[in-house]
């Protein structure tokens, strides 16, 4: 990132200098609007989530009353073959084989399918499937923090100049073995341009022993990053299961050839830990790895590890609960920020890594690059991105710490009409706007006004936002968000729009459904060319201005969340951990009764996520004659009882 200062028209004026950013070229089918291509997660490699070239969807037009003779509403709903965790991507004036030229929205599903859909009408133009998704029954602990299938989870990335989409596929190879394959697809045909590469990697542990990448215990959830002529991917775990095996990774491949980089980052290199609990996963609720700085450094946030392991070692052996700055070739951890309470975060499963790192575009009057990141404990850290561990024990180690409430979420950024940057946070159920004050002591100042997203309390708190503005034109900004399921039988998710100047609610309406409530709906709305796109469970909703009397509607979803199948005689319970004595756990169930759980079989099978007193647990096993449970699986559950599914 240049230190020369930030130009207010970032989305349109400086976009050519940003790899993987919004592309603006020509005009769209809607006269007078720029043709915006959205080629990566959250619009650019900083992960701002900001489209500064939206001239149609101003606050005045988004209000339900309408001011142009048209009303903002859902204009189409396209059925898809599975749940969508990935953010949609947009290419305007794109040629699709056999169908001519269209504005196209690309959507990836958990059934390993890629759809090319007309971005205006919602008509499916092309669809291709890449192998069988991995079924829930084959996941460690039969992890249910997802739908019944795990296929393409992360957001792909598009190299517009070369007409290529990079996508990570999780394939149940021959119906027996989970395998990750990185594909480079032709945007016109969705055909492979080169032979897909099977993801492999190895790293040296602190003992000198080699640790090999294991696709069977590794989840690829963060959005892919295209930067420095490379494609990067982050990896974590399934439900913290197989934590005595699974470790976090950041891997990279050369664009075009898909040749793996010579170096990689294994986030936990410890040979041993007190509880054989490693992880330090890179998951970030699907937020993408970020890139910026003078050298194109890579930024990400890691999750929990064993609370007894040494984690503040500058990234030498373990970078749990940390924001990490890495060199583009993945050879060097350049700096690490680890909160002072990292051990307690580990012990209470309060991952810092539940959210991503937002790099701020260069700010006027600021010599260093800046970054914000927040996690489960609800604190947003304001950091010097050029040296995350600057003055490790001094007053400038953290530029600021701000409470935004519990955050399974990621921040957005935009520039206001005064030319000053803003950060949008979305912890719990609240949109908040923070003004960036630069200078010798940079800080964030929360602005008056908030917006509230109505969630049903059936999933973790926090959500994801994007922002659209017409440059820095006053009163042109809209903050967009998608709620998590509403707790009704249909488990609806809703699209919300808020005025960017004060947080006032402009619009809300059903945008789809999410019946698999065990896995968070980390849904990111995409705003481009006068339309808003929301992909959810088995469908893509398109919103825009329309003179039609009625709105399109999402179909009714199945009323039963996806759950791992039980073997004959097995039961599954949810509860709060009352006491722990070795492998014996006393659990207080829904109805207040206590059950003694023997977790030793789960530990032996690598299907134990270490529990914590006072926190939620899921146990799966058989009852013995004394009424206790011998558990084959013990996983973390949400602490809120309203989220628990019925015992069975």
Could you report the average pLDDT of every consecutive run of 10 residues in the chain (648 residues)? 34 36 45 77 98 96 73 96 97 97 98 98 98 95 92 98 98 94 98 98 96 98 98 97 95 98 96 89 98 92 82 76 96 91 66 94 90 95 89 70 95 97 96 95 93 87 97 96 92 96 95 92 98 97 93 79 83 95 93 94 86 90 94 87 83
Distances (CA, A) of 29 to 92, 96, 117, 158, 602: 9, 17, 16, 22, 57
**pTM score of the predicted model:** 0.92
Return the beta strands (E) in 311-440 as ranges: 323-326, 333-337, 357-359, 370-374, 379-384, 400-403, 412-415, 421-425, 430-437
The pLDDT score that the predictor gives to residue 23 is 56
Within the chain, which residue ranges are assigned CATH 2.140.10.10? 23-546
Residues 6+ apart with CB under 8 A from 593: none
Q: What is the pLDDT of residue 610?
A: 80
Residue partners of 467: CB distance under 8 A and separation at least 6? 48, 49, 50, 51, 412, 413, 414, 424, 477, 478, 479, 480, 500
pLDDT for residue 249: 98
- Report yes or no: 470 and 530 within 8 Å, Cβ to Cβ: no
**pLDDT of 4:** 34
Kindly report, as residue ranges, where domains of CATH 2.40.50.140 are found in the chain. Answer: 571-643
Complete edge-to-edge strand list for the sheet that includes strand 333-337: 290-292, 297-301, 323-326, 333-337
The torsion angles phi and psi of 43, rounded to 5 degrees, stand at 80, -30
Strands, sheet with 50-51, edge to edge from the N-terminal-most edge strand: 50-51, 464-468, 478-482, 492-499, 505-513
Strands 249-254 and 225-227 turn out to be: unpaired
φ and ψ of 361, to 5 deg: -60, 155
- 132: how many CB neighbours lie within 10 A of its CB? 16
CA distance 37 to 512: 24
Burial class for 487, CB neighbours closer than 10 Å (0-12, 13-18, 19+):
middle
Kindly provide the b/e burial profile for residues 326-346, where b requires at least 16 CB atoms within 10 angstroms of the residue's own CB: bbbebeebbbbbbbeebbebb
User: Locate tokens 């927040």: which residue?
Assistant: 374
Residue 345: per-residue pLDDT: 67
Residues 387 and 336: beta-carbon distance below 8 Å: no
**Residue 561: its pLDDT value, please?**
65
Whose structure tokens read 């073959």? 81
CA dihedral 183, 187, 190, 194 (to 10 degrees): -40
Please say whether the beta carbons of 613 and 580 come within 8 A: yes
CA distance 618 to 573: 6
Classify domain 23-546 at the CATH topology level.
Methanol Dehydrogenase; Chain A (2.140.10)
- The pLDDT assigned to 65 comes to 61
Q: Would you state the CATH architecture of domain 571-643?
A: Beta Barrel (2.40)
CB 83 within 8 A of CB 562: no
Cβ atoms of 599 and 631 within 8 Å: the answer is: yes
């Amino acid at each position: 990132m240049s230190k020369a200062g930030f130009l207010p028209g970032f989305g349109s004026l400086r976009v050519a200098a940003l790899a993987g950013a919004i592309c603006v070229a020509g005009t769209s089918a809607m006269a007078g609007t720029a043709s915006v291509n959205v080629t990566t997660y959250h619009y650019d490699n900083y992960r701002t989530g900001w489209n500064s070239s939206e001239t149609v969807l101003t606050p005045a037009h988004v209000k339900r009353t309408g001011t142009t003779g048209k009303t903002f509403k859902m204009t189409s709903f396209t059925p898809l073959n599975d749940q969508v965790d990935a953010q949609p991507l947009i290419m305007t004036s794109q040629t699709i084989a056999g169908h001519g030229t269209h504005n196209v929205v690309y959507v990836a599903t958990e059934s390993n399918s890629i759809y090319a859909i007309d971005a205006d009408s919602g008509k499916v133009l092309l669809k291709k499937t890449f192998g069988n998704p991995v079924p829930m029954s084959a996941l460690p602990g039969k992890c249910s923090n997802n739908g019944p299938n795990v296929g393409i989870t992360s957001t792909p990335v598009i190299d517009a100049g070369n007409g290529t989409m990079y996508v990570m596929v999780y394939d149940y190879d021959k119906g027996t073995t989970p395998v990750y394959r990185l594909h480079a697809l032709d945007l016109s045909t969705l055909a492979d341009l080169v032979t897909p590469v099977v993801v492999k990697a190895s790293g040296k542990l602190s003992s000198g022993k080699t640790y090999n990448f294991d696709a069977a215990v590794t989840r690829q959830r963060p959005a892919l990053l295209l930067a420095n002529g490379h494609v990067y991917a982050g990896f974590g775990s399934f439900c913290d299961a197989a934590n005595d095996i699974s470790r976090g990774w950041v891997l990279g491949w050369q664009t075009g050839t898909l040749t793996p980089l010579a170096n990689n980052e294994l986030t936990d290199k410890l040979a041993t830990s007190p509880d054989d609990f490693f992880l330090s996963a890179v998951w970030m609720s699907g937020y993408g790895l970020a890139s910026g700085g003078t050298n194109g450094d890579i930024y990400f946030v890691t999750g929990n590890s064993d609370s007894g392991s040494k984690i503040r070692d500058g990234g030498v052996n373990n970078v749990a609960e940390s924001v990490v700055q890495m060199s583009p070739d993945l050879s060097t951890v350049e700096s690490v920020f680890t909160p002072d309470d990292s051990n307690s975060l580990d012990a209470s499963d309060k991952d810092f890594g539940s959210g991503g790192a937002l790099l701020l575009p260069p700010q006027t009057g600021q010599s260093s690059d800046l970054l914000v990141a927040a996690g489960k404990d609800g604190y947003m850290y304001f950091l010097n991105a050029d040296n995350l561990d600057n003055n490790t024990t001094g007053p400038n180690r953290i530029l600021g710490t701000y409470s935004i409430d519990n955050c399974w979420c990621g921040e957005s950024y935009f520039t206001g009409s005064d030319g000053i940057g803003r950060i949008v946070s979305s912890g719990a159920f609240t949109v908040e706007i923070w003004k960036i004050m630069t200078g010798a002591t940079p800080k964030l100042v929360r602005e008056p006004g908030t917006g509230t997203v109505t969630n049903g309390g059936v999933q973790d708190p926090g959500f994801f936002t994007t922002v659209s503005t017409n440059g820095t034109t006053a009163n042109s900004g809209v903050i967009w968000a998608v709620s998590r399921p509403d707790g009704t039988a249909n488990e609806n998710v809703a699209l919300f729009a808020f005025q960017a100047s004060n947080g006032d609610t402009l619009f809300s309406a059903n945008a789809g459904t999410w019946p698999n409530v065990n896995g968070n709906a980390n849904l990111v709305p995409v705003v481009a060319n006068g339309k808003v796109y929301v992909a959810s469970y088995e469908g893509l909703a398109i919103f825009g201005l329309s003179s039609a009397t009625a709105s399109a509607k999402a179909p009714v979803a199945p009323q039963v969340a996806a759950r791992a199948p039980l073997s004959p005689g097995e039961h599954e319970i949810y509860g709060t951990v009352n006491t722990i004595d070795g492998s014996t756990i006393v659990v207080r169930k829904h109805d207040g009764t206590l059950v003694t759980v023997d977790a030793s079989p789960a530990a032996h099978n690598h299907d134990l996520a270490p529990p914590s007193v006072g926190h939620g647990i899921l146990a799966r096993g058989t009852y013995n004659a004394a009424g206790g449970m011998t558990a084959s699986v013990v996983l973390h559950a949400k602490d809120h009882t309203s989220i628990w599914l019925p015992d069975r």
